């Protein structure tokens, strides 16, 4: 099984993932569609590796159909102008590793500005998502190489991926405490803020990726995560021919 995941570099927020038995365009497209649903209409830098499916999938996801009023035929697909796509292509020949950084879409000036905002400068890289992949391999025994712990079904791997991803996001990276196992985790050290306390100096304010993004104002516990109630999707009456029944109309009025 192959796992494709994405993260927000500036806050270390895990954005989601997709699972497939093959590393093909369908897997990458499923991930790109997830990113498209939560993306805001602002400048965005997408850094991927050398697989060509990444570029094709993200170009498909970040475009909008447009058709003038009264025009006939197929609508025109327009790419988002503020989307930049970069690639990091690694090749090993005769024990020599070469790294090529490509700008696939977007201007160099915008890309360098987004790099300063997300990772305080540096070069185009995929080191952050590679480090996150290592964290998932450490916490999920199924993903370790040469392991005897196997996931019998893909749904099991999917559930484990989302549990680890959510715990990484709102409980932060770190090991469980020995005193209170399963209730609290350590904060993400790279996200802490220095708070001045006057003449006495300063102290560090610890944060999780969810706190840095603004999704929550405190560090969650494992129990709070698992007992959190997700609201169901908005109910829609089934499509039927003819006039809807009185019972369906009453349900529609209650849900509206």
Please indicate, yes or no, if residue 162 is contained in any of the structural domains: no
Together in a domain, 190 and 132: no
Q: What proportion of the chain, given as a percentage, has pLDDT over 90?
A: 40
Together in a domain, 126 and 177: no
Query: In the predicted model, what is the mean pLDDT of residues 79-86?
Result: 91
Please indicate, yes or no, if residue 161 is contained in any of the structural domains: no
Please indicate, yes or no, if residue 156 is contained in any of the structural domains: no
pLDDT in tens, 142-194: 888 888 888 889 999 999 999 999 888 877 544 433 333 333 345 777 888 88
**pLDDT > 60? residue 231:** yes
**pLDDT > 80? residue 196:** no
Please indicate, yes or no, if residue 64 is contained in any of the structural domains: yes
Q: Please tell me the total count of domains within the chain.
A: 2
Please indicate, yes or no, if residue 158 is contained in any of the structural domains: no
Together in a domain, 51 and 135: yes
Together in a domain, 73 and 141: yes
Together in a domain, 123 and 190: no
Could you give the CA distance from residue 172 to residue 228 in angstroms, rounded to a whole number? 17
Together in a domain, 123 and 179: no
Residue 241's domain spans which residues? 171-256
**pLDDT > 90? residue 5:** yes
Confidence band of 206 (pLDDT split at 50, 70, 90): confident
CA dihedral sign, ordered 56, 59, 62, 63: negative
The residue out of 149, 184, 205 marking a domain boundary is 149
Together in a domain, 127 and 186: no
Together in a domain, 104 and 217: no
Could you give the CA distance from residue 171 to residue 182 in angstroms, rounded to a whole number? 11
Tell me if the pTM is above 0.85. Answer: no
Q: What's the confidence (pLDDT) of residue 241?
A: 75
Together in a domain, 136 and 57: yes
Report in angstroms the alpha-carbon separations of 81 from 44, 61, 84, 127, 256: 10, 13, 8, 26, 37
Stretch among 75-79, 178-182, 237-241 having the lowest mean pLDDT: 178-182
Please give the residue that has the higher pLDDT: either 223 or 158. 158
Helix axes 52-61, 25-38, angle to 10 degrees: 40
Helix axes 127-139, 154-170, angle to 10 degrees: 120
pLDDT in tens, 97-111: 999 999 999 999 999
**pLDDT > 80? residue 215:** yes
Q: What proportion of the chain, given as a percentage, has pLDDT over 70?
A: 91
**Is residue 238 packed enough to be buried (19+ CB in 10 Å), middle (13-18) or exposed (0-12)?**
exposed
The residue out of 88, 119, 149 marking a domain boundary is 149
DSSP-derived letter for residue 168 is H
Please give the residue that has the higher pLDDT: either 240 or 83. 83
Together in a domain, 88 and 124: yes
Q: Which residues pair with 245 in a beta bridge?
A: none
Q: What's the confidence (pLDDT) of residue 182?
A: 34
Please indicate, yes or no, if residue 7 is contained in any of the structural domains: yes
Confidence band of 75 (pLDDT split at 50, 70, 90): confident
The residue out of 149, 179, 201 marking a domain boundary is 149
**pLDDT > 90? residue 28:** yes
Query: In the predicted model, what is the mean pLDDT of residues 199-218?
Result: 85
Together in a domain, 189 and 233: yes
Please indicate, yes or no, if residue 157 is contained in any of the structural domains: no
Please indicate, yes or no, if residue 181 is contained in any of the structural domains: yes
**pLDDT > 80? residue 141:** yes
Together in a domain, 12 and 85: yes
């Amino acid at each position: 099984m192959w796992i494709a995941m994405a993260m927000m570099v500036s806050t270390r927020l895990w954005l989601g993932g997709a699972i497939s038995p093959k590393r093909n365009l369908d897997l990458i497209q499923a991930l790109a569609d997830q990113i498209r649903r939560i993306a805001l209409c602002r400048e965005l830098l997408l850094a991927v590796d050398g697989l060509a499916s990444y570029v094709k999938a993200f170009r498909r996801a970040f475009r909008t159909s447009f058709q003038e009023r009264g025009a006939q035929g197929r609508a025109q697909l327009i790419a988002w102008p503020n989307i930049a796509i970069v690639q990091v292509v690694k090749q090993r020949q005769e024990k020599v590793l070469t790294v090529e950084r490509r700008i696939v879409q977007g201007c160099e000036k915008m890309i360098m500005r987004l790099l300063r905002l997300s990772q305080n400068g540096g070069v185009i890289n995929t080191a952050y998502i590679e480090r996150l992949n290592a964290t998932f391999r450490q916490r999920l025994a199924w993903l370790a190489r040469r392991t005897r712990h196997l996931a019998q079904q893909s749904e099991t791997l999917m559930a484990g991926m989302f549990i680890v991803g959510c715990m990484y996001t709102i409980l932060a990276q770190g090991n469980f405490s020995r005193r209170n196992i399963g209730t609290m985790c350590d904060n993400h050290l790279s996200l802490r803020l220095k708070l001045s306390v006057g003449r006495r100096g300063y102290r560090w304010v610890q944060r999780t990726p969810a706190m840095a993004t603004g999704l929550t104002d405190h560090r969650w516990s494992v129990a709070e995560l698992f007992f959190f109630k997700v609201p169901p999707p908005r109910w829609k009456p089934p499509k039927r021919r003819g006039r809807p029944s009185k019972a369906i109309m009453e349900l529609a009025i209650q849900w509206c």
